[in-house]
């Protein structure tokens, strides 16, 4: 399987329209505590993501994923603990582009960045247990299922659990072009 050739770059205010195009789409937020977003909510999110790059200490690393000049999604590495070298990845792809390998490519790039550039030892990812596609992305990226965290989020349809996945720097890394 050939994965997309993506470039991850810091989020810019110029990305607002594209970010809002999926932020306002109910398919994107089905398993999330946010959304669908108003334009003002998307603007706030992008502003905060841009500002995260200037924070000291920096704990959020939000990237836009670009393929052939088109912003197809976003990914973020968040530092959970510098002391214990732990981070968490998250990703989103425009719903019109689902099923093309973008989420896996974004997640793999974030894991590589976390280990190589941020010197993390443990990288986690969580997803709603009903979001089978996101669980598959985390497994494909080499994260191992560690268990279910009960009642972690409140969504429009009630409380939800989260499936927890993680990969360690000492784990075998998946062989992937992403």
Determine the pLDDT at residue 173.
Answer: 78
pLDDT along the chain (178 residues), means of 10: 74 97 94 92 97 96 95 97 98 96 96 97 97 98 98 91 98 66
Structure tokens at 1: 């399987």
* Burial class of residue 105, CB neighbours in 10 A (0-12, 13-18, 19+): buried
Determine the pLDDT at residue 172.
Answer: 87
Residue 31 within a domain: yes
Residue 173 within a domain: no
**pTM of the predicted protein model:** 0.93
Residue 155 maps to which CATH number?
3.40.630.30
Instruction: State how many domains the chain has.
Output: 1
Residue 175 within a domain: no
| Crossing angle of helices 16-23 and 39-52, rounded to 10° | 120
Determine the pLDDT at residue 88.
Answer: 98
What range defines the domain where residue 146 resides? 7-168
Which residues make Cβ contacts (< 8 Å) with residue 138, sequence separation at least 6? 107, 125, 127, 165
Determine the pLDDT at residue 178.
Answer: 44
Residue 178 within a domain: no
Residue 53 within a domain: yes
Residue 13 within a domain: yes
Would you call 141 helix, strand, or coil by DSSP? coil
- 73-87 exposure pattern, b = at least 16 Cβ within 10 A, e = fewer: bbbbbbbeeeeebbb
């Amino acid at each position: 399987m050939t994965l997309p050739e993506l470039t991850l770059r810091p989020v810019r205010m110029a990305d607002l329209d594209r970010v809002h195009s999926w932020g306002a789409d109910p398919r994107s937020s089905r398993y999330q505590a946010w959304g669908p977003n108003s334009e003002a909510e998307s603007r706030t999110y992008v502003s905060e993501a841009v500002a995260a790059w200037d924070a000291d200490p920096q704990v959020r690393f939000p990237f836009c994923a670009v393929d052939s000049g088109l912003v197809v999604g976003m990914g973020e590495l968040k530092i959970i603990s510098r002391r214990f070298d732990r981070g968490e990845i998250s990703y989103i792809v425009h719903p019109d582009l689902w099923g093309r390998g973008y989420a896996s490519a974004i997640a793999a790039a974030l894991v590589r960045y976390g280990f190589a550039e941020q010197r993390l030892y443990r990288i986690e990812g969580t997803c709603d247990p009903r979001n089978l596609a996101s669980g598959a992305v985390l497994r494909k990226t080499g994260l191992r299922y560690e268990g279910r965290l009960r009642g972690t989020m409140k969504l429009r349809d009630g409380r939800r659990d989260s499936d927890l996945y993680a990969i360690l720097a000492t784990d075998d890394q998946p062989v992937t072009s992403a």
